[in-house]
Every structure is written in C-alpha cells, then in structure tokens.
Structure 1
Amino acid sequence: MRQQYKDMFPAWVDFIDEDFDLVLSNDADSLLSCLFLNKMFGWKINYFYDFNALYQIKPSDRDRIYVDIDVVNGKGWGNHVVLINKTDKINKQMANLNTIFKVHQANYCKKYSASTFLTILSYYNYPLFLLPREAQLITLSIDAGFKGFYDKYFQQFNYFYIHNVLDMDYLFDLQKQYSKDDFYNVIGTYNLHEKIYLQNGKLATKIKLDELAKLFNFNKDVINDLFSATFTQIQEFEDVCIPLNANPNIDLSNAFSFALTNKNFAKLSLYKEGVQHER
C-alpha cells in the first residue's frame, strides 16, 4: 500500500507486537484475513460472530480485533460502506478504506469493492505476487472484488484502489487475462461463497479449507484446532435490515455492527435488552 494511504489508518494496526484476540465472522474473507494475521503476528481467533450472537472459546481480557466486521465501537478491519451521510460520525478505530475515503450513500458507486483480506495483505506489504497464480485469483475472487474491472464505468474505481492505493498493479493486470466467468469458477471451485456457522458448538463450513491452506501456506494445525474448539455464546443480538429510503436517519446508539449492503439498504446488529454492552 502506498504510504500516503497507510498514514490514514488507525495507529493500532502497527502495534504488531501486542497480543490481540481475533474475532472471526461467517465468511471466507474474514477467515483468510484471520489466518493471515495469525500467521504473521501470532494472534489467535478466540471469538466468532454470526450477526445474531457473539461466541468465545475461552474468557480473555485481551483487546479484540474484529475482522471483516464493521463494529460501531472497537478495533477492526473492514471493507463495508458504513456512512449514510458524509458527515456521519465514524469509528476511528476501524481500518477500512471506505471509511478513510468517506464513501457514503450518495457516492456509493465509488466504493472500494474488494476484500478486507486484500486490504490487509496490501497494508502489511505481503508479496502476494510470489504465491501461486491460483492464490492471486482467489484473492481477487473474494467478495467478487473483480467485478468492477468488467464494467466500463466501475473499472476506473477498480484501477484506482488496486493500482493507486493498494499498489498491486500486477493484480489489475491479472484481471485482463481472465473473464468474469473464470473468476466465478474460482469462487465455485473453492466454495468461497459458502458461510461459516456453528453446529453443536463447533465451527463448520463447506469452504475448501485444505486447498486454501496449501495455496496460502497457512498452518493446517491452526485450522484444525479452530474447527475442533467449542464456542460458547456470550452476547446476543437482533439482526436487522433497513431500507434507507424509508429510514434516512438510523439510530446507532444500541448498534454493535453496521454496514450498507447496497446503496439503499442497511444491515445492523442491535444489542438485545438485558445484555451487557461490548466494552
């Protein structure tokens, strides 16, 4: 990532010698991001969040990093649009390009549409170009980050973020060699569209974990330990979807997470009554 943009990120992202707990969300973007942060800095996944509840493996007083989860308060990596209006209050502890560039409902089409995983790889200057071509294609396929390249209008934003901000021009050029269908085939091959969920207190998924671990050099023991651990619910939420046209102003005072899922639709998790709020 180019330094001028790295300088806009919250300071904590450089506290790599501190011991944080990671909070995993329910998709491939969060999982690969967490596995990368574990590989690089030794931070362990101790929590799982599925928008309806927060679960933990064991009690901990370490600071949490919410990964691919745009929380209203707390530290995290994200990639969602979280502003309805440009002047809305932001969580300054979120490392999110769409927050940094003040993307909001009115200029939603200018958003960074690639993955949280790609943001993290770029920020920490990871040499993705040294990994197999298939790994590079997977990185572009997560969250369908490639889609903007194949649209005449959106290609300018695909170029701006990948080339000018992330400083990964080889990924922009890589898109020229493949079709949209090629990338959708990658998504299907590795089940990148599948969710992560809890089944009898343990994580389960149809995402092709073994293949991804091999391509990205992730420790399989870490993955096996994660999917054999038992999670216990510690917080419950109400998962709410709101059309923005009917609700131009949303009260986030009782919200745990919030994001625009498209220009005219918002998704948020609200604390349920009687549940202690996240610190």
Structure 2
Amino acid sequence: MKKELKEKFPLWCSDMKQGQNSLMLTDDLDSLLGCAIERYVKGNEINYFYNFNKIFVANQEEQRKAIGIDLALHKGKSWCNHVVRINEDDYVNPQTANINALLKVHSGNYTKKYAMSTALTMWSYYGLPLPESKVSKMLLLCVDSSFLGHYNNSFKPVHNAYLKLLGFEELIDLLNDTSMADYEALQKEYKTKAKIKLNTEGFLQTNLPLAELQGAFSLPLELPNQHFSLRNQFKEGKGEVRNTVSKDQLENVISFALTGKRFFKYTYF
C-alpha cells in the first residue's frame, strides 16, 4: 500500500499486539477471508456473527472488543469497503479502516468509490504477498467481484488508480490479460458468492469450498465450530439520499452504508 494512503488509516490497524481483539464475521467470503487475515497477522479469533439485523455470540464471557470485518459500523473498530457518507462532511466512524471513508467518497462522488473487497484492502495494508499462481490471484479478485470495475470502460481508470494505491500493479496486468467471463467462471466453480448462515442448531455453515479456497490463498480458512446464540437484535431502515441530507437525521445507528448513489440501508436500536 502506498504510504500516502496507509498513513490515513486508524492507529489501531498498525498495532501488532497479538490476540487483543475478537472478530465479528458477516455472511460472505469477503468477511471470512478478512477474518482469516486478522487471525494470521494478529491472532484474533471470530467470536461474533452479524447477519445485518442480528448479532450472535459464541463465548458470552468474552471481554475483548470486537473488530467488525466487512462491516460498516457506526462506532467501534471495523474493516470496511462501503460508502458511508451521504454528504462530504457527514459523520464517519473514526475507527473504521475504510478507503471510501478515508478518501471522503459520498453520494455526490459515488462513481469515484473504491469498488473492491475489504479483504484486498487488508491484504495490501498488512503487506501480504500476492498468491503465487495465476488462478489464485484471479480468485482473490473474485472476492466481492473485485475484478468487475476493470471491465467498465468509464470506471476502469478509477479502478486502476485504486489498484496502484494498493501497490497491486501486477493485478492490473493480470486483468488486462484476462476477461470478465474468466472471473465469472471461477466464481461459479468456487461458489465464491455462497453465503454463510447460522443453522437451526446455532452453528455456522456454508457451501463455500473452504479447503480449495484455503489452498488458493495459503491462509487457514475455516468457520468456527462453536455454538452461537442471539445477543442483539436491531431494526432495519432504508432511505433515499434526496430525503436525507446527513446521517445526523438518523437516530441510534448501528451500521450504515449506501447501496447505490441514491439509496442507503442501516440498522438501529
């Protein structure tokens, strides 16, 4: 990651003390891979599962603060890739490690957003070497469809600019030598869009081929096998930017993200 970007991240990101936080997993591969990176780099383990309007917990006695992974938390530590500003001066969680938040992307300049995975941000920030094989690099770009912006001619310069900021010029060359169809085929083969769910017995399950993906990324990629129980339940809200000038108009926000240039979703107490 380029120095000028890395220096904008919250100080907690550079604290390499081992095992001082727990992790909050969400329902997809981007979050699970991000959790695997946190575990590999800092020894932090998953203790919470968030499925947008509910938080489930494994160890209810856990005292360590949680880091949300691929989660647009309004307060607290999180790695995130969502656009979290309605306007340029909107409140942003000061503890969020989110390129779009750090570079003041909002509804008015939405087409300038970072449109790649949270895991790729973390991969770059922690200076992890890219996977060795071509397929593994392509799979990394499959996470959260990080390849997609390259094949939109109007967005391609923005997409390439972010890859350069991440220090991943090598991935630009790879994208130039491959097609969108190549990535879509890999997404289908490796089921990269499969969700993570809590079954009726309170255990996490997924159709993601974890063993194959673990081999591709050379990182332990597994779901915790503990039992999870409900801790918090929130209300869900959504709105249009034209009717909401700022997040200050919303009360008791837990998470917030734009779902496009004109719309947003959030949770609240």
Tell me which interval the TM-score lies in, with the shorter structure as reference length: over 0.9
Partner of 2:7: 7
Structure 2 runs not aligned, ≥5 long:
none
CA distance in 1, matches of 2:29, 2:92: 26
User: Tell me, what secondary structure is at the counterpart of 2:116?
Assistant: coil
Partner of 2:92: 90
Structure 1 counterpart of 2:112, which letter? K
Shift of 1:267: 1.1
User: Tell me, what secondary structure is at the counterpart of 2:150?
Assistant: helix
54, 60, 66: which is aligned to 2:62?
60
Structure 1 runs not aligned, ≥5 long:
272-279
Shift of 1:132: 2.2
Partner of 1:274: none
CA distance in 2, matches of 1:216, 1:191: 15
CA distance in 2, matches of 1:145, 1:112: 10
CA distance in 1, matches of 2:156, 2:220: 35
CA distance in 2, matches of 1:218, 1:170: 20
Partner of 1:43: 44
Deviations 1:199-229 (A, max 9, x none): 0201111111111111122336xx25x1x21
CA distance in 2, matches of 1:90, 1:52: 20
Partner of 1:209: 210
Q: CA RMSD in A?
A: 1.3
CA distance in 1, matches of 2:229, 2:29: 21
Shift of 1:41: 1.7
122, 125, 132: which is aligned to 1:123?
125
CA distance in 1, matches of 2:30, 2:266: 19
Shift of 1:150: 1.1
How many percent identity over aligned positions?
Answer: 35
User: Tell me, what secondary structure is at the counterpart of 1:207?
Assistant: coil
CA distance in 1, matches of 2:246, 2:8: 27
Deviates more, 1:141-150 or 1:22-31: 141-150
Shift of 1:248: 3.8
CA distance in 1, matches of 2:192, 2:237: 24
User: Tell me, what secondary structure is at the counterpart of 1:262?
Assistant: coil
User: Tell me, what secondary structure is at the counterpart of 1:245?
Assistant: helix
Deviates more, 1:30-39 or 1:72-81: 30-39
Whether 1:29 aligns to 2:30 is yes
Partner of 1:218: 219
User: Tell me, what secondary structure is at the counterpart of 1:234?
Assistant: strand
Partner of 2:260: 262
Whether 1:132 aligns to 2:133 is yes
Moved over 6 A (4+): none
TM-score (norm: length of structure 2): 0.95
Whether 1:243 aligns to 2:240 is yes
Structure 1 counterpart of 2:197, which letter? Y
Structure 2 counterpart of 1:178, which letter? T
229, 232, 235: which is aligned to 1:232?
229
CA distance in 2, matches of 1:99, 1:35: 23
**How many matched pairs?**
265
Partner of 1:173: 173
CA distance in 2, matches of 1:202, 1:55: 10
CA distance in 2, matches of 1:236, 1:182: 40
CA distance in 1, matches of 2:208, 2:161: 30
Structure 1 counterpart of 2:181, which letter? D
User: Tell me, what secondary structure is at the counterpart of 2:33?
Assistant: helix
Structure 1 counterpart of 2:236, which letter? D
CA distance in 2, matches of 1:7, 1:253: 31
Partner of 2:104: 102
8 Å contact kept, 2:90–2:246: no
Structure 1 counterpart of 2:180, which letter? K
CA distance in 2, matches of 1:184, 1:216: 18
